[in-house]
Amino acid sequence: MTNTREVILDALMEILEKNQYSHLVMAGVLEKYSFLEKQERSFIKRVCEGTVEQKLRIDYVIDQFSKTKVRKMKPLIRTLLRMATYQILFMDGVPDAAVCNESVKLAAKRGFAPLKGFVNGVLRNISRGKDTITYPDRNADEITYLSVMYSMPEEIITLLLAQYSPEETEQMLAAFLEKRPLTIRISEALSEQEREALVTEMESEGIVVTRTELSYVYHLDKVDRVSAIPGYGEGKFVVQDLGSAMVVEMADIREGDFVTDVCAAPGGKATHAATKLRGSGHVLARDLTEYKVSLIEENIERLGLANMAAEVWDATESDVTLEGKADVVIADLPCSGLGVIGRKSDIKYRVTGESLEEVAQLQRDILSVVQCYVKPGGVLMYSTCTVNRGENEENKDWFVERYPFEAEEEKLMLPGRDGSDGFYMVRLRRMK
């Protein structure tokens, strides 16, 4: 019999102690334990993701009730207390006594029997005192308050406050902690009638479907497995966020165009572009590794796109065979990911001032290479999934100062304001 809490503990050790990417760890865990009941897999997913998401607030609370501070604890005990504290603070459906008892058993099972009393004492103290916890005083230190209450590193809060109003900043911080629906793009090759029939079939499976401002993009809730959603196997939809779809909408793709997506994995925008071409033209999708390209190829095959190909290519390396050939170049470039913290919460623990500077420079390096692929009069569609102006507007300004392009249209989507993750996009037209 599978111990779900032990599965959670192992997953969190990978994410929090070994610095593995949370979305990759979770994908592997949910696939490995796909035989479990839906309720058990949902429990694993929620506790893992919630513990990572609320780590800073959880640590603040544990430190109030433990003589040994979190940073000085043994890694397994620290992880065990974090996942248990998350359940006590944020999951009313799980009895606190059960959380304490199961945590004590798990500590003993994993070789820490001498620390059973410590684990039990800390968790029971938190359970008894959770309604009287003293949090930082907002008036005395707003950044510390925001950091603890929204579980966001102070460095990121300082960055956001320097670029956005206090109201916009807190709106984003709150949005990052909200439950995220799965967002899909239903193929535009389907008629309105076929699309409505597919939505009806999804709803008959208990999925809650909500249309967005784009008629073919929908939010889905109460989803178990993506592969089990009606229409997946037939290639009727692809997982793609609203902001990502809007990038392709803004790119001004025309039938017969040659489009290249220089950082395409897993292929949402590139397959969207191929669909826009309605069987004409061609899309060349590239990415850095064989693994990433394999993800694109899976989508090409599942969606049945004959006017699209994928290949391995480093976007920082120039390809002379493409110079002046593309009607549209999609450059959705590597970024800090500050706009998608709501989906990949461990991003916020990786970002530093130095890493922001490095990724902004990488974007400039790639833009300098791929701009030459655009025909005179063609489009370079630059986009990111961050809200950091240094990777967005400032890089756009840097680019148009140096290359013969003009910015025709740009859009910034903020979490909590636009019904999407954070996205920046700008259509740059090469002068004739």
pLDDT band of residue 432 (cuts 50, 70, 90) is: confident
Q: What is the mean pLDDT of residues 74-92?
A: 97
Q: Which residues are 239's β-sheet partners?
A: 184
SS3 366: helix
**pLDDT tens digits along 358-391:** 999 999 999 999 999 999 999 999 999 999 999 9
Q: Where are the beta strands (DSSP E) in 61-189?
A: 182-186
Sheet arrangement for strand 405-413: 308-312, 282-287, 258-261, 326-332, 374-384, 423-430, 405-413
Quote the tokens at residue 17. 């102690």
**pLDDT tens digits along 304-317:** 999 999 999 999 99
Q: What is the mean pLDDT of residues 3-26?
A: 96
Length of the chain in terms of residues written: 432
Q: How many helices (H) and strands (E) does the chain have?
A: 16, 11
Distance CA 339, CA 384 (A): 9
Residue 225 has pLDDT above 90, yes or no: no
**In this structure, what DSSP letter does residue 92 have?**
T
Dihedral, 91, 107, 53, 48 alpha carbons, nearest 10: -80
**pLDDT tens digits along 393-414:** 999 999 999 999 999 999 999 9
SS3 26: helix
Residue 1 has pLDDT above 90, yes or no: no
**pLDDT tens digits along 24-43:** 999 999 999 999 999 999 99
Backbone angles phi, psi at 423, to 5 degrees: -140, 145
Angle at 151 between CA 147 and CA 155, to 5 degrees: 45
| Contact yes or no for 57/86 (Cβ under 8 A) | no
SS3 382: strand
For the residues of 129-173, what is the DSSP string, one character each? HGGGPPPPPTTT-HHHHHHHHTT--HHHHHHHHHHS-HHHHHHHH
SS3 318: coil
Quote the tokens at residue 129. 């005192």
**pLDDT tens digits along 242-293:** 999 999 999 999 999 999 999 999 999 999 999 999 999 999 999 999 999 9
**pLDDT tens digits along 238-253:** 999 999 999 999 999 9
| Contact yes or no for 269/244 (Cβ under 8 A) | yes
**pLDDT tens digits along 142-187:** 999 999 999 999 999 999 999 999 999 999 999 999 988 999 999 9
> Taking Cα atoms as reference points, which of 282, 273, 210 lies closest to residue 245?
273
Average pLDDT, rounded, for the chain:
96
User: Structure pTM?
Assistant: 0.94
Handedness of CA 378, 250, 417, 43 (dihedral sign): negative
Predicted pLDDT at 9: 98
Predicted pLDDT at 199: 96
Backbone angles phi, psi at 204, to 5 degrees: -65, -20
Residue 52 has pLDDT above 80, yes or no: yes
Q: At what angle do helices 4-12 and 96-109 cross, to 10 degrees?
A: 70
Dihedral, 61, 66, 68, 69 alpha carbons, nearest 10: 10
Predicted pLDDT at 180: 87
Distance CA 364, CA 396 (A): 9
Q: What is the mean pLDDT of residues 52-66?
A: 97
pLDDT band of residue 419 (cuts 50, 70, 90) is: confident
Distance CA 192, CA 309 (A): 28
Backbone torsion region of residue 259, taken as left when φ is above 0, otherwise alpha when ψ lies between -120 and 50, otherwise beta = beta
Residue 216 has pLDDT above 80, yes or no: yes
